[in-house]
Amino acid sequence: MLSVDAEVALTQESLDYAIKHKWRTVTFKGQLQRLKQKSLYYQKLLAAVHAGFTIVPNMPVDVFAIRVKRDDPKWQYGEGTSGYSYSSASPSVPEETEQCLPVGEGRYESPLVKFTEDRSKEKQIGKDGKEIEVYKVEQYCEGFGQIEFPLSVAHPMVMDATAAAMACKIFDRIGVVPQTQRRGYRGDPIVLGQITIKEGWQTKVASFLIAWYLDPRTL
């Protein structure tokens, strides 16, 4: 982390020098932004360790809470049409994603959004020249949905630990490790907190154990 902070300072100095001499600054600004995000990522990793959380290997996670600062979801409107039914005309509502915020900032929201839906039908002329009935669905965002704690991990100990982790405002997103679908087996509830950073088109993730309830009946 110290080496990253040193790079930030050096890049900032180079940017200031470029500005002073009226040189092109786009490259320096882009590099500075990437380094600041990297420094923030390591700051949050360190904060998680200091708070007593244990880093674990990444696992598939069903995210149920994201940390954001924006007032409203990014998604606002969707529209779909179909010649068969309203259900086939319904557009796909994307899940919201977290913002990479400093420790202590923002709040946790559900990645799912609330929306209202308008349905209508109209007559149109098809490619074959015949009149057809077209189903239309319009969806309007009303805000973030309510966080729904997964029933599979709804144990008081797990819920208390999760609430405590959310109060720290360290993790960018929080999720539950999906339960196995193997017949006759139900895994132990595991909740993970994740810290993320964008690296090009990919997202790098570090996972920390928030809670794990071992059911003696599974031993």
For 180-210, the pLDDT digits (tens) are: 544 444 556 789 999 999 888 899 999 999 9
With 80 as the cut, is the pLDDT of residue 1 above it? no
Above pLDDT 70, what percent of the chain?
79
- pLDDT, mean of residues 84-91: 85
Instruction: Name, in order, each residue with C-beta under 8 angstroms of 135's C-beta and a sequence gap of 6 or more.
Output: 81, 82, 83, 84, 85, 86, 88, 89, 119, 121
Instruction: Name, in order, each residue with C-beta under 8 angstroms of 88's C-beta and a sequence gap of 6 or more.
Output: 82, 135
In whole angstroms, give the CA distance from residue 80 to residue 126.
17
Please report the pLDDT score of residue 156 as a whole number. Answer: 86
Q: Do 82 and 117 belong together in one domain?
A: yes
In whole angstroms, give the CA distance from residue 133 to residue 23.
61
Q: Do 2 and 45 belong together in one domain?
A: yes
State how far Cα 198 lies from the chain centre: 12
Above pLDDT 90, what percent of the chain?
50
With 50 as the cut, is the pLDDT of residue 71 above it? yes
Q: Is residue 28 part of a domain?
A: yes
Q: Do 33 and 92 belong together in one domain?
A: no
pTM assigned to the model: 0.81
Domain that holds residue 33: 1-50
**Helices 26-50 and 2-20, packing angle to 10 deg:** 160
Please report the pLDDT score of residue 182 as a whole number. Answer: 43
Q: Is residue 173 part of a domain?
A: no
Please report the pLDDT score of residue 183 as a whole number. Answer: 44
Residue entry with tokens 């994307």: 94
Q: Is residue 209 part of a domain?
A: no
Predicted confidence band at 87 (pLDDT cuts at 50, 70, 90)? confident
Q: Do 79 and 46 belong together in one domain?
A: no
In whole angstroms, give the CA distance from residue 157 to residue 163.
10
With 50 as the cut, is the pLDDT of residue 77 above it? yes
Q: Is residue 168 part of a domain?
A: no
Structural domains counted in the chain: 2
Q: Is residue 4 part of a domain?
A: yes
What are the pLDDT digits (tens) for 88-146? 888 888 999 999 999 999 999 999 999 999 998 887 776 777 778 888 999 999 999 99
Q: Is residue 55 part of a domain?
A: no
Contact 162, 211 (CB under 8 A): yes
Q: Do 91 and 27 belong together in one domain?
A: no
Q: Is residue 192 part of a domain?
A: no
**Could you give phi then psi for residue 156, rounded to 5 degrees?**
-50, -40
Q: Is residue 156 part of a domain?
A: no
Contact 83, 133 (CB under 8 A): yes
Q: Do 87 and 133 belong together in one domain?
A: yes
In whole angstroms, give the CA distance from residue 213 to residue 50.
22
What are the pLDDT digits (tens) for 18-70? 576 677 766 656 676 777 888 899 999 999 999 999 999 998 899 999 999 99
Structure tokens at 197: 């950073």
Please report the pLDDT score of residue 49 as a whole number. Answer: 97
